[in-house]
Structure 1
Amino acid sequence: MDDSSMEANDRIRAAANFLLQSPPGEINDVLNDIRNIISDDDLLQEGIQPALREYNIEQFTVVDVPDTNHQSIISEAAREGDSLESEERFLDPRSKISFLFDHLSLEASDPVPFEPDETHEPYRSALEAASLSYLKAHFTDGVTSVFSPKDGSSRYVIQIVANKYNPTNFWAGRWRSEYIVDLTSNRVSGKMLINIHYYEQGNVQLATSHTVSFDIPPAVVSASPNTAASKILALIEGEEGKYQISLSDTYQEMGEKTFKGLRRALPLTRQKLDWDKVMGYKLGAELSGSKPAFPNS
């Protein structure tokens, strides 16, 4: 491999790392900036495909499901187990459709019906209905998908993602949560992940995660699928509510204590600096109120 090829590969690897760190809703902006650096669309597209796939799956990218009026989540849980990465298919349990997904254009194609597992479908469907009700009550723009157990397990997967993009005011955010409902151990384990980007006259990103785990009460385990699903989502609602309150308390404390401890709110003069007149200030005179150090200045 010659030096130019090695340099091109290094640039592609760097580009892939940049893509994986893209803030919510801004991956196209990052990709366009990278195009200007690489200046080779064919090489770029080939080299970043694995990074795009990883990003879409990790970030719970949503896609319009063909022949429906709703969206579904692209994730590892949604991936059809026997599909090859080159012709990767994903499942939308809500419509019972399998489809191909293009990680670059973010479009679904070639919808094909599939038959769900009759053993698991009643409980999965009940969890889905309860998740949709929860989503409607607590998320302005959110998508949820609920998946049946795979590989002979008894673990149902509930996934939720909500995106909010506000480029006019220079911020964007994403909420992701995933819960494993295990009917063998009668336990729910999950995680919540939040990414926020604020970039008005600066560049600040927040990435935080929180894990939870709790038992499913015996009365819930023995209840009908619809009743059990509603109770499980009520427990999830409680956990997410507590985490949201803890985040609000943390931000308030950071604003009142942490940030104030990092720097002075005002300079020693206790007055804000007039930056429009900064070139006219005489150091030691106007800033400190003392006589000029140089009388003829």
Structure 2
Amino acid sequence: MDAEGRILAASKFLLQAPPGEINDVLNDVRNIVSDDDVLQSGVLPALREYNLAQFITADVPGHQHQCIVSEAARLKPTEEVEGEEEEGDRFWDPRSRTSFRFDHLSLEASDPQSIEPEGESEPFRAALETATVAYLAAHFQSGVASVFSVAGNADQFIIQVVANKYNPANFWSGRWRSEYTVDLAERTLSGKILLNVHYYEQGNVQLETNHTISLALPPTITAESAAPSAPKVLALIETEEGKYQESLGDTYQEMGEKTFKGLRRALPMTRSKLDWDKVLGYKLGAELSSNKGGFAGAS
């Protein structure tokens, strides 16, 4: 396989990396490429795509909180910086009104700059952010949320939430992502929940599932009443996410009681449980029985 083929293969592996294991996958594909310089430049587009899709979080320079690095957070390049390379992408954190440069390889934010939000949409966006942070604290043990106004549309807002749980000591990791678009003009709340779980103790099992949501906003939610309206939006999200989690619990229970049991017999053909501590004894007894006639003939 030539260098281009190895880079392509490495990029595909990276895009399929389970939550929290991107560095492990990157270290493994180094053996495929066998050239660190080529690897770093060749897989950078894949790393960028992975980071944006997975809602990778970054420490906001100069502040004590994290924000989400995503397509919604990316600042569109201006004419002055149009020629910058992809690793020069700038993102912004509306909560602190800070933009920063993000390195998709080291996952570090740098070069912070102040940025002013759009004045017309900021009151409702800020109210949504306050309600989202409160929702995050109530329902996610370790999560990060960002709320953005859509450039050029004062009636649209994007809410993003990500929560990661990594437990390599017990061979599992998981990531919850949810994204919602609030459209005050169309009176809709639409979004999706994406869940990734990886369990790899003496095996390799991954769960990837997604759930879409589309709701009509009640008439009481308006831009003019930002403070009381924002918690109502999060109440709708809370209800839908609660329903989805309950459905997942029901699915897991059904899998345990029906699906997995259907894959194998509960008991062997003898209808009695096998005593695994005596397996070697069973095998030895079977061999002696099969050789009994031979021993008798030899005597």
- State whether TM-score is above 0.5: yes
- Paired residues for 1:171-250 under 5 Å: 171-221=172-222, 224-250=225-251
Aligned to 2:33: 38
SS of the equivalent of 1:189 reads: strand
Contact map agreement 1:134 1:233 (CA 8 A) in 2: yes
Within the candidate set 43, 46, 60, 1:51 is matched to 46
Paired residues for 1:148-159 under 5 Å: 148-152=149-153, 154-159=155-160
Query: Distance in 2 between the 1:268 and 1:103 partners?
Result: 56
Task: Give the equivalent residue in structure 2 for 1:292.
Answer: 289
* Residues 75-127 of structure 1, C-alpha deviations (whole Å, 9 max, x = no match): 00000012653421001001000000000000000000001111011000000
Greater shift after overlay, 166-175 or 273-282? Answer: 273-282
Superposed counterparts of 1:1-297, under 5 Å: 7-82=2-77, 84=84, 85-152=86-153, 154-221=155-222, 224-269=225-270, 270-272=272-274, 274=276, 277-278=279-280, 281-282=283-284, 285=286, 292-295=289-292, 296=294
CA distance in 2, matches of 1:277, 1:138: 48
Contact persistence 1:142–1:163 (CA under 8 A): yes
SS in 2 for 1:194: strand
Matched residue SS, 2:221: helix
Q: Provide the rounded CA distance (Å) in 2 between the counterparts of 1:149 and 1:172.
A: 32
Which runs of 5 or more structure 1 residues have no equivalent in the other structure?
1-5
Aligned pair count?
A: 287
Deviation at 1:263, TM superposition (A): 1.0
SS at match of 2:253: helix
1: distance between equivalents of 2:128 and 2:141?
Answer: 20
| Separation in 1, partners of 2:255, 2:13 | 29
The percent of aligned pairs where both chains have the same amino acid is: 60
Q: Which amino acid aligns with 1:127?
A: L
Q: TM-score by structure 2 length?
A: 0.91
The one-letter amino acid of 2:97's match is K
- Deviation per CA, 1:275-294: give whole Å up to 9, x if none: 784487148x49xxxx9344
For the residues of structure 2 that align with 1:86 and 1:200, how far apart are their CA atoms?
35
Task: Read off the aligned partner of 1:267 and give its amino acid letter.
Answer: P
Residue 3 (structure 1) aligns with: none
Residue pair 2:124, 2:223 contacting (<8 A) in 1 also: no
Aligned partners of 1:60 and 1:75 also within 8 Å: yes
CA distance in 2, matches of 1:164, 1:203: 17
Residue segments in structure 2 that go unaligned for 5+ positions in a row: 79-83
Whether the aligned pair in 1 keeps the contact of 2:124 and 2:230 (CA below 8 Å) is yes
Distance 1:49 1:279 in 2: 57
What amino acid sits opposite 2:50 in the alignment? Answer: Y
Normalised by the size of structure 1, how large is the TM-score? 0.92
Equivalence for 2:81: none
CA contact (8 A) 1:186 1:221 kept: no
What are the Cα deviations for residues 45-77 of structure 1, in whole angstroms up to 9, with x where unaligned?
011000000000000000101000000001000
